[in-house]
Structure formats: structure tokens, C-alpha cells
Amino acid sequence: GQNIDQPTEMTATEGAIVQINCTYQTSGFNGLFWYQQHAGEAPTFLSYNVLDGLEEKGRFSSFLSRSKGYSYLLLKELQMKDSASYLCARWEAAGNKLTFGGGTRVLVKP
Amino acid sequence: DVKVTQSSRYLVKRTGEKVFLECVQDMDHENMFWYRQDPGLGLRLIYFSYDVKMKEKGDIPEGYSVSREKKERFSLILESASTNQTSMYLCASGFIMGPNYGYTFGSGTRLTVV
């Protein structure tokens, strides 16, 4: 694989903030995706970062540091429907290859 | 909206059978991917293709082959199904030069080999 590491599981309270970290191998790296996957469903695209910095999309933000091989997904104002797995994926342009980490299961409690 | 359609939602096959999983996309995407997803192991890349008749091995190609005769269709073939190939199989597609638009996944095929 491409050594993509993210925590297995996180629990947070409704209305709170949760940050999901992802580290990856930097050689050949071209961009970083985040996907959301509800149980029994296909992953759906959340964000794509290619430059350093923070990209904000409503309650969800994604950050990338290319030099550190590090990204995070920030979920604000958590809602019960945000309970899902969040997948970090590394894109390698040279091989047109998209490789995923193991996913972080987020459980939102009332 | 981009549609990625996988031919079957659930399949049950016997050990040793040849199995075809079909994936069709309707957005003229160059890239297509096949993954399997298993608890605790995440999504693992089996094969991918960036053009008709082109194919590249992913991280776990053993026991699988693929076919891309037309741009919109990418087939995954299990030459001789085994019980360790019981899994959820997910197809995805996207543009080569536009990854910022994301890759779109099909609904998945849950294959059980008995």
C-alpha cells in the first residue's frame, strides 16, 4: 500500500467538533481526497486538496500539508447523520492511482 | 449526475466458478477502478484502467483479471472464485485531469463465495 494511516474510530457528541487526521507517504503524491461512507452504502466525495492549506465547505473543512504528508478533515456542529466512516485517499498522478486508508468510523452521540 | 452502475447488488457463487462483475459509467471518464472492501482492511485497489484496453495492477491483483473493451465498461473477473474472495466489491470512475471533481463510486456488489 501507500502507508496511509488514520485512526480506526472516534466518538463525539452532537454539536461538537471532531478532527480526523491522516498521514501518508509523500513520494509520488499529487492530491488527497476525503470520502464519507455510511454503513452499507458507497463512498461519496467530500473534498480534494492539492495545495497546502485549508479548504472549507460548509460544516466540513479539509487541510493539507504536503511537506509533512499530513491532512485532516474537520467536522463542525456535528449532527447524528454524520455518523459514518471517513476515508482518506491518496492520488498519485503518475500511475493514475487512488489508494485509500483504512477509514475512520465516527460515532456521534446525542 | 454521474452514474456508475454495478450490474448486481448481491451475488452468491460457488467455489471454482468464473465470476464476472460489471461496471458501467455514463460520463466518458478515462479512469476506472475496482476495489474490494473488507472490515478492518478498508478499500484495497485490485486493478485500474486509464484507457480502453489498458489495465494496471493495484495492490491485490492476485486471483483477479479485468477487461476494458469499451470506455464506459470495466469488468472484474474472478477466474476461479474462492471463499477468501467473499467481499464487497466497489467500482469507481473519474477524469484523469480533473481529480478535484472526485471519483464516483457505484453502489457495490456484495459477493459471497460458498
On whether any CB of chain B is under 8 Å from the CB of A7, the answer is no
| Backbone angles phi and psi of A54, in degrees to 5 | -105, 130
Which chain B residue shows the shortest CA-CA distance from A93?
B96
**What is the tens place of the pLDDT at every residue in B19-55?**
999 999 998 888 899 999 998 788 999 999 988 989 9
Q: Round to whole Å and give the CA distance between A43 and A38.
A: 7
**Residues of chain B with a CB closer than 8 angstroms to some CB in chain A:** 31, 33, 35, 40-45, 48, 50, 56, 58-59, 90, 92, 94, 96, 99-108
Q: For A74-102, what is the mean pLDDT?
A: 90
**What is the tens place of the pLDDT at every residue in A45-54?**
899 899 999 9
Q: In the prediction, which pLDDT does B1 show?
A: 65
On whether any CB of chain B is under 8 Å from the CB of A101, the answer is yes
For residue B104, pLDDT over 60 is answered with yes
Confidence of residue B99 (pLDDT cuts 50, 70, 90): low
Q: A with B: how many residue pairs have Cβ under 8 Å apart?
A: 64
Q: Kindly give, in sequence order, each residue whose CB lies less than 8 Å from that of residue B105, ignoring residues fewer than 6 positions away.
A: A42, A43, A44, B4, B90, B91, B92
Burial class of residue A51, CB neighbours in 10 A (0-12, 13-18, 19+): exposed
- Dihedral angle of Cα A6, A97, B46, B71, to the nearest 10 degrees: 140
C-alpha cell at A18: 471532531
Q: Kindly give, in sequence order, each residue whose CB lies less than 8 Å from that of residue A40, ignoring residues fewer than 6 positions away.
A: none
Q: Round to whole Å and give the CA distance between B94 and B78.
A: 24
Return the closest-CA partner of residue B37 out of B73, B14, B6, B71.
B6
Which of A48, A89, A98 is facing B100, going by the closest CB pair?
A48
Residue type, B82: S
Nearest-Cα distance to chain A for B108, in Å, is 6
Q: Which residues of B touch A1 (CB under 8 A)?
A: 44, 59
